[in-house]
């Protein structure tokens, strides 16, 4: 019963963190969560410890738990780790992939092409929520396909963990927001990068696949860091600093 209650609490809190309801820096009161989730404090504490292991929560002695907040230095270190792991996963995928893996990577790429083409025909000046969601979903599909093609469960687990932290701290799919001046041009750039990754994996070129993914991830992270710097500057301006 305790395991079920812990799982319920873990899923509830995790989803609230990932959808932005509990933003970075939010205090996570065990009493409040116990009432909100409908379980006792013990499974709440167990769930928070699991989320701390995931890297989404920080538990401070004698103070309590809060949603993880990163300063720019910590965020850049996370970005570096993510780039290293994802680029190496692409290189490994070039060596280890099966025909089914290659087809799934290609299918994800083709789906993004179709979505971008439809958006281009509609000549939207900025992305709708539906379009942002579609682009984000198929982008994730592509990256998951590459991770799966590497056939290394430990590597995949760590990449997913870092991606979740990146999502909470650095924002969700920064290339598909209205803040990007020309999202269609950014989407075409992403498609070109995906194509290079796909081609390198398909031809078993581990060196090219690693380099292509490294450049692609760096571009994504540059956008996230730029956004983080902008938010930091806005907060300082609001405080009159």
Contact at 8 Å (CB) between 94 and 205? yes
* pLDDT value at 162 more than 90: no
* pLDDT value at 170 more than 90: no
Reported as a single tens digit per residue, the pLDDT across 60-115 is: 988 899 998 877 788 888 889 999 999 999 999 999 999 999 999 999 999 999 98
| Three-class SS state of 142 | helix
What does the pLDDT average to over 223-239?
62
- What percent of the chain stands above pLDDT 90? 51
Order of strands across the sheet that contains 27-28: 27-28, 64-67, 57-60
What is the largest distance, in Å, between two alpha-carbon atoms of the chain? 58
β-strand pairing of 27-28 with 57-60: unpaired
Confidence of residue 176 (pLDDT cuts 50, 70, 90): very low
Name the strand (E) or helix (H) holding 29.
Answer: none
- Reading the block at residue 198, the tokens are 């796909």
Dist. CA 36–CA 30, nearest whole Å: 10
25: left (phi over 0), alpha (psi -120 to 50) or beta: left
| Three-class SS state of 98 | coil
Q: What domains lie within the chain, and their CATH numbers?
A: 2-67 (1.10.10.10), 72-238 (1.20.120.530)
β-strand pairing of 64-67 with 57-60: antiparallel
Predicted local distance difference test score (pLDDT) of residue 121: 73
- What percent of the chain stands above pLDDT 70? 84
State the pTM of this model: 0.77
Confidence of residue 192 (pLDDT cuts 50, 70, 90): very high
Contact at 8 Å (CB) between 89 and 213? yes
Q: Please state which of the ranges 117-121, 154-158, 203-207, 231-235 shows the lowest mean pLDDT.
A: 231-235
Reported as a single tens digit per residue, the pLDDT across 12-28 is: 999 888 877 888 889 99
């Amino acid at each position: 019963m305790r395991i079920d209650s812990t799982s319920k609490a873990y899923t509830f809190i995790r989803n609230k963190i990932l959808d932005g309801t509990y933003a970075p820096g939010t205090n996570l009161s065990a009493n409040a969560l116990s009432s909100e989730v409908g379980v006792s404090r013990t499974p709440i504490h167990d769930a928070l410890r699991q989320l701390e292991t995931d890297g989404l929560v920080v538990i401070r002695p004698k103070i309590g738990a809060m949603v993880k907040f990163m300063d720019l230095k910590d965020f850049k270190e996370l970005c570096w780790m993510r780039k290293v792991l994802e680029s190496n996963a692409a290189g490994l995928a070039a060596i280890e992939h099966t025909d089914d893996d290659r087809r799934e990577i290609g299918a994800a790429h083709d789906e993004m092409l179709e979505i971008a083409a439809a958006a281009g025909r509609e000549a939207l000046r900025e992305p709708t929520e539906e379009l942002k969601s579609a682009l984000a979903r198929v982008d994730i599909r592509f990256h998951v396909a590459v991770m799966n093609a590497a056939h290394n469960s430990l590597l995949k687990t760590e990449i997913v963990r870092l991606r979740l932290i990146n999502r909470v701290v650095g924002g969700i799919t920064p290339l598909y927001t209205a803040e990007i001046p020309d999202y269609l041009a950014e989407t075409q750039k992403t498609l070109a990068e995906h194509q290079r990754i796909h081609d390198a994996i398909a031809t078993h070129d581990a060196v090219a696949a690693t380099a292509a993914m490294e450049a692609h991830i760096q571009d994504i992270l540059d956008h996230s860091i730029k956004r983080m710097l902008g938010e930091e500057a806005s907060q300082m301006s609001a405080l009159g600093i």
